[in-house]
A and B are shown apart, each in its own frame.
Chain A
Amino acid sequence: MKPAPFKYVAPRSLEEAAAVLQQSNLDGKILAGGQSLLPLLNLRLAKPKVLVDVNGISDLDTIRETPESISIGAITRQSKVEHSSLVHERCPVLAEAIRHIGHIAIRHRGTIGGSLVHADPAAELPALALALDAKFELTAKGMGRIVPAEKFFIDYMTTALASDEILLQIVFPVIRPSSGYALEKIARRHGDFAIAGVVAIVDLDHAGKIAQARIALFGVAPTPVRARGAERALVGRKPDDEVFRDAAALLEEVLDPSEDIRASRAYRKHVAAILTARALKRAVQLCETRRIS
C-alpha cells in the first residue's frame, strides 16, 4: 500500500521544527530514519497530516562523551553508533545491541532516537536504555525536560514524549571497565524482532560475589521491563548456574507476554527465563575476563 497524503516539512533548526510541530495541532509526526514510521504509513496504520523531517538538523547527529556517560543525538544512524570507537570503548553493550537490529540496510537509515521513540516492546534499544538507566532529553517550543528511562516507556508503543515534543538526545551511562554485560535474544531469523530477549549487566566485588546486577527484558510485556526482584536476589551471591536459575525463576512478576503467530505466552515466559540465566552467565564470565586483563 501507499501512504495517505501528508504535508512534508524539512526544518533546518530545532526551533523551527518545534514550531512546525506545535502548529500542526497534534497531527504532526517527526520523521527521522523512517525505518519504523514508513512501514506504518505504507500500511496506513498511521496517517499524520504533517511530517516533520528532522534529518537536516545536524545538532541531533552527535556522539559525545562525559566521564560518566555517552550522549547520542536522536538522529544518529544506528550503523554509525555500531561502528563508533567511542561507543565500543565506553558502552560496548550498545554496539552489541545494535547488531541485533534488522539488517545493515535498515541500520544505515534507522536512528537511535527513532527506535527508542517507536518503543516496540520487542526491540533491543528500549530494553538497553532501561537496563542502563539512560536519560531522555526532550524539548518542546520554549522548554525542555529530562525523563529517566524508567518513566519513558509507558505502554505498548507509547512513551512519555508528548506530540509537540522532540527527542534531542539520549544519555547512556557508560559500562565500567570492570563490568560484564550480555544480550541474549531468540527470534525466527537473525534481525527479526525478538520473540523474547534480555540485557544483563553485572558487577562483581573483590571476593567475586555479585555486587550489582541489572536485568531488562524485551518481547515479554507491553513495554520493556526491569527484573528488580531477580536483580536484588543476585546481590551478595557467589555466581553459579544455580544462582542464575534461581534469579530467573523470579521473573514471573514482570512477565506479561502476548501470544501471536510466532510464539505462545507460555513459550515466551519459558525462554525468557532460560535467556536470562544464559545472559547472566555470559555477563559474569566477561566480568571475570575483563578483571584479569
Chain B
Amino acid sequence: MTSKCSIEIAVNEKHYEGLVEPRTSLADFLRDQLGLTGTHLGCEQGVCGSCTVLFNGETVRSCLLLAVQANGGRILTVEGLAAKANAGEPLHLIQQGFIETVGFQCGFCTPGFLMTAYELLNENSSPSEDDIRERMSGNLCRCTGYQNIVAAVLWAAARLRAQANR
C-alpha cells in the first residue's frame, strides 16, 4: 500500500532520479540516498533549523517537506553553496565568514545557518545587526551564543558588497 514513488529533482544544479517511500523526508533523501550529508537533521519537527535548504529559491525545513513533494523542484544545499565560491576559493564567502569570526563550535547547526544567511544576503546586501538576528532567530545554536554568527554574516555581507562594487 505504500508503494514507492519515483522522483526527479535538481540538487545543486545536478539532476537526480530516485525511488522513495512517501514518508521519506527531503532531508533523509538528501542524506541517505544522495549521500549529501551536509544537511543536518536536529529535531525533525521544524524547530531547530539545522536542516534548512533552499527549495525553488526559498528556505525550507527539509525535515518538514516530503521528498515526493520536492519532485520536479530545485534544491540548494550547503554542498552547493561551496560550489558557488569564487574561483580558486574552496568555500563561499559566507562560509569563510563563519571561519574568520569563529561563528561555529561543534558545527552541527552551521549548514542551516549558512543557508539562511545565503537567502538573507541575496535579498538584502546590507542587513543591519537587527535584520540578521531577526532572520537567524529560526535557527538554534547551542554552542556559540550567536554573537559570532551575527559577526560572520556581517563579515560576509561587507565582502560580498565589496566584490559586487569591484
Q: Which residues of A contact B46 (CB under 8 A)?
A: 35, 38-39, 102, 106
Measured between alpha carbons, how far is A191 from B58 in the docked complex, in Å? 18
Q: Are A104's CB and B2's CB within 8 A?
A: no
Given the known A-B contacts A8-B5, A104-B138, A105-B59, are A34 and B45 also in contact in the complex, defined by CB atoms under 8 Å? no
Q: Are B66's CB and A103's CB within 8 A?
A: no
Q: Shortest beta-carbon distance, B28 to chain A, in Å? A: 7
Q: Which residues of B contact A8 (CB under 8 A)?
A: 2, 5, 22, 66, 68
A12 on the B face (CB < 8 A): no
Residue of B nearest to A108 (CB): B58
A206 on the B face (CB < 8 A): no
Measured between alpha carbons, how far is A206 from B86 in the docked complex, in Å? 63
A162 on the B face (CB < 8 A): no
Q: Which residues, 101 to 139 on B, are CB-close (under 8 Å) to A? A: 116, 119, 134-135, 137-138
Q: Which residues of A contact B44 (CB under 8 A)?
A: 1-2, 39, 42
Given the known A-B contacts A34-B64, A106-B46, are A4 and B137 also in contact in the complex, defined by CB atoms under 8 Å? no
Q: Are A105's CB and B52's CB within 8 A?
A: yes
B63 on the A face (CB < 8 A): yes
Given the known A-B contacts A5-B23, A8-B22, A8-B68, are A105 and B61 also in contact in the complex, defined by CB atoms under 8 Å? yes
Contact digits for B34-52, partner A, Cβ 8 Å, 1 yes 0 no: 0000000000111001001
Give the interface size bracket for A toward B.
20 to 34
Residue of A nearest to B21 (CB): A5
Given the known A-B contacts A5-B2, A8-B5, A38-B63, are A105 and B49 also in contact in the complex, defined by CB atoms under 8 Å? yes
Q: Which residues of B contact A1 (CB under 8 A)?
A: 44
Given the known A-B contacts A1-B44, A41-B23, are A104 and B64 also in contact in the complex, defined by CB atoms under 8 Å? no
Given the known A-B contacts A35-B64, A39-B64, A42-B45, are A106 and B138 also in contact in the complex, defined by CB atoms under 8 Å? yes
Q: Shortest beta-carbon distance, A76 to chain B, in Å? A: 15
Given the known A-B contacts A1-B44, A2-B23, A7-B1, are A109 and B49 also in contact in the complex, defined by CB atoms under 8 Å? no
Q: Are A34's CB and B23's CB within 8 A?
A: no
Q: Shortest beta-carbon distance, B134 to chain A, in Å? A: 7
Q: Which residues of A contact B23 (CB under 8 A)?
A: 2-6, 41
Given the known A-B contacts A5-B23, A7-B22, are A55 and B69 also in contact in the complex, defined by CB atoms under 8 Å? yes
Q: Are A103's CB and B22's CB within 8 A?
A: no
B60 on the A face (CB < 8 A): yes
Q: Are A190's CB and B64's CB within 8 A?
A: no
Q: Which residues of A contact B21 (CB under 8 A)?
A: 5
Measured between alpha carbons, how far is A154 from B66 in the docked complex, in Å? 30
Select A38's contact among B49, B52, B64, B68, beta carbons within 8 Å: B64
A61 on the B face (CB < 8 A): no
23 contacts between A and B (CB under 8 A): A1-B44, A5-B1, A5-B22, A7-B1, A7-B22, A8-B2, A8-B68, A31-B69, A38-B63, A39-B46, A41-B23, A42-B45, A42-B63, A51-B22, A79-B58, A102-B46, A102-B138, A103-B137, A105-B49, A105-B59, A106-B61, A109-B60, A190-B134
Besides A5-B22, A42-B25, 10 more A-B contacts (Cβ < 8 Å) are A2-B25, A8-B5, A31-B69, A102-B138, A103-B49, A104-B59, A104-B116, A105-B60, A105-B116, A109-B61
- Going nearest first, the 7 A-B pairs with the smallest beta carbon separation are A103-B138, A8-B22, A39-B45, A105-B59, A5-B2, A3-B23, A38-B64
CB within 8 Å of A: which residues of B?
A: 1-2, 5, 21-23, 25, 28, 44-46, 49, 52, 55, 58-61, 63-66, 68-69, 116, 119, 134-135, 137-138
